[in-house]
Amino acid sequence: MIQAQEEFRDHVSNQETDGRRKWIYPRLPKGGVYYRWRIVVALGLLLILFGLPWLEFQGHPLFLFNVLDRKFIFFGVPFWPQDFYLVALGLLAFMVFIIAFTVAFGRVWCGWACPQTIFMEVVFRTIENWIEGDYKAQKKLDAGPWNSDKIRKKTLKHLVFFLISFAIANTFLAYLIGKDELLAIQTDNPMNHLGGLASLLVFTVVFYLVFAKLREIVCIVICPYGRLQGVLLDKKSIVVAYDYVRGEPRGKLSKKENETPKGDCVDCSLCVQVCPTGIDIRHGTQLECINCTACIDACDQVMDKIHKPKGLIRYASLEGIEQKKKLRFDGRLRAYSAVLLILTAVIGYLLVVRKDVDTTILRASGLTFQKQPDGRISNLYNLEIVNKTFRPVHVTVRVKQPDFALQFVGQPLTTVEPGELTKGSFFLSVPARRIRENKTPLVLEILADGKMVEEVGTNFMGPVE
């Protein structure tokens, strides 16, 4: 049987007892230290988010994630489908970093850097308060009849929400297709960009629904990262926590001398009122908590007013509250850190040895050698060349060993376009008298625009006379 004080755990915070959704009306935090820093961080991240798609390096986007054309650019460096192993390793390293960071510091990402939180709490929530008033006014407006004032405020709010969602959709699309293609969609004949316009409209509607309707449901139900908290967090993790040792038993302030001694919590419920997911942090760590620190600021302001020390709600671990222990670099953290360092080292090495032009040469299967009428011995090879740069590359293939002749089958390879994989076949031949063993090691030199970029080893098969 669930204890009375644990009943909050049998349902999420935005759900009524009958299963219906409970709309959250959070009180906007004001003047707190963490709130001011969150605004600064949020504005900086918004500037980066909206600015990055417009930055270029050597005439190309600084960042691009074009999934449809399988073209990715990170810090001005292009990555193509042939580099997918690097992208996969990078994503794996990022996941390990997030896991290690979460184990140590909880959901700091959610409260400080997640786009959902930044847009919802800093942008959309602020606009909602400007138009409809504070949380009390919003409750009253929603409960009231549909009169001219309500229609005007609701229409204005949702119009602004839709316009901001449109701006976010444009930015999101710029990361996927690049700013030049986005500008073409915006300025060219719409009939030439029906697919792009449809994508823009879909993204706009999705973002509008997320911030106007779904809101905290994204954090509580949809986001998979939030579901991982039960696995990743333990008593050593730093989270936004209520110091129940100091705060309990809670109760209102009283001047009666014979009253039972109380803790520092005055049960004002401000920590609940400011929570964007509607939880009571005094119940302990909960899946709905996004570590936004709104409850810390609210509680600290109350502690100032009643002349009590700040930090009744603070960043702390359960172990730190109960046993006054500091964060330790324990075995789990060491293991995650070791994996992260290994992955980072491997990625760094692969990036260093990564070539702008990558070549694969293999002997044709099913054939050993051919005897030509002029007495030469020939072998057939298949060639694949990948151009991983932004520019066309003029390619030349030559044999390092003397007496070997190279002849392409059909048209010789000349130019490889950016991001393209070009295939070809060629014969290597040598006078029979020059063959000293059945398998002769050879080195082929690959030149790009007249500069040697790679040496590829292979074998030449022939009869020994």
Beta bridge partners of 424: 383
Same domain as 309, residue 161: yes
pLDDT digits (tens, 9 = 90+) for 138-194: 999 999 999 999 999 999 999 999 999 999 999 999 999 999 999 999 899 888 889
| 29 token code pair | 């935090």
- pLDDT of residue 251 exceeding 50, the answer is yes
Domain that holds residue 263: 12-354
Place of tokens 């850097």: 113
Q: What are phi and psi of 394, to 5 degrees?
A: -90, 120
Same domain as 271, residue 416: no
- Residue 133 φ/ψ region, left for φ over 0, alpha for ψ in the -120 to 50 degree band, beta for the rest: left
Same domain as 307, residue 177: yes
How far is the first Cα of the chain from the last one, in angstroms, to the nearest whole number? Answer: 91
Same domain as 364, residue 325: no
Q: Which helix (H) or strand (E) holds 35?
A: helix 33-51
Same domain as 375, residue 350: no
pLDDT at 304: 95
Separation CA 208–CA 166 (nearest Å): 8
pLDDT digits (tens, 9 = 90+) for 25-36: 999 888 889 999
Same domain as 243, residue 137: yes
- pLDDT of residue 10 exceeding 70, the answer is no
pLDDT at 414: 82
The mean pLDDT value for 430-437 works out to 89
When mean pLDDT is compared across 170-179, 229-238, 249-258, the lowest value belongs to 249-258
Same domain as 443, residue 307: no
* Residue at which a domain ends, from 319, 354, 389: 354
pLDDT at 375: 86
pLDDT digits (tens, 9 = 90+) for 344-384: 999 999 999 888 899 999 998 888 899 998 889 999 999 99
Please list, residue by residue across 284-301, b when 16 or more beta carbons sit within 10 angstroms of its beta carbon and e when fewer do. Answer: bbbbbbbbbbbbbbbbbb
pLDDT digits (tens, 9 = 90+) for 278-330: 999 999 888 899 999 999 999 999 999 999 999 999 999 988 898 877 767 77
Q: What is the mean pLDDT of the chain?
A: 90
pLDDT at 2: 39
Q: For the chain, what is the total number of helices (H) and then of strands (E)?
A: 17, 16
Indicate the pLDDT class of residue 129, thresholds 50, 70 and 90.
Answer: very high
Indicate the pLDDT class of residue 4, thresholds 50, 70 and 90.
Answer: very low
211 close to 128: Cβ distance less than 8 angstroms = no
Beta bridge partners of 416: 393
Separation CA 203–CA 205 (nearest Å): 6
Place of tokens 């290597």: 428
pLDDT at 421: 87
Query: What's the one-letter identity of residue 198?
Result: A
pLDDT at 3: 46
pLDDT digits (tens, 9 = 90+) for 53-75: 999 988 889 999 998 888 899 99
Separation CA 46–CA 57 (nearest Å): 21
Indicate the pLDDT class of residue 1, thresholds 50, 70 and 90.
Answer: very low
Q: What percent of the chain has pLDDT over 90?
A: 58
Other Cβ atoms closer than 10 A to 244: 18
pLDDT digits (tens, 9 = 90+) for 396-409: 999 998 889 999 99
* Residue 268 lies inside a defined structural domain of this protein: yes
Same domain as 372, residue 279: no
* Residue 6 lies inside a defined structural domain of this protein: no
- pLDDT of residue 8 exceeding 80, the answer is no
* Residue at which a domain ends, from 354, 380, 403: 354
Indicate the pLDDT class of residue 258, thresholds 50, 70 and 90.
Answer: low
Closest by CA to 77, choosing from 63, 94, 92, is: 63
Same domain as 319, residue 265: yes
Separation CA 387–CA 395 (nearest Å): 10
- Residue 311 φ/ψ region, left for φ over 0, alpha for ψ in the -120 to 50 degree band, beta for the rest: left
Residue 15: DSSP 8-state: B
Same domain as 369, residue 323: no
pLDDT at 275: 96
Q: What are the distances in angstroms from CA 351 to CA 87, 185, 345, 386?
A: 11, 35, 10, 16
Cα 455 versus chain centre, distance: 37
Same domain as 308, residue 362: no
Same domain as 262, residue 302: yes
Q: What are the distances in angstroms from CA 33 to CA 26, 40, 289, 458?
A: 18, 11, 19, 66
Place of tokens 């020059």: 434
Separation CA 263–CA 246 (nearest Å): 6
| 173 token code pair | 């699309």
> Do strands 405-408 and 421-431 pair parallel, antiparallel, or not at all (unpaired)?
antiparallel
Other Cβ atoms closer than 10 A to 44: 10
117 close to 290: Cβ distance less than 8 angstroms = yes
| 374 token code pair | 């002029």
The mean pLDDT value for 336-343 works out to 92
* Residue at which a domain ends, from 322, 354, 386: 354
What's the whole-model pTM score? 0.85
Separation CA 377–CA 97 (nearest Å): 56
Contacts of 96 (CB under 8 A, 6+ apart): 336, 339, 340, 343
233 close to 102: Cβ distance less than 8 angstroms = yes
* Residue 1 lies inside a defined structural domain of this protein: no
pLDDT at 256: 65
Separation CA 265–CA 282 (nearest Å): 10
| 22 token code pair | 């409970």
pLDDT at 461: 92
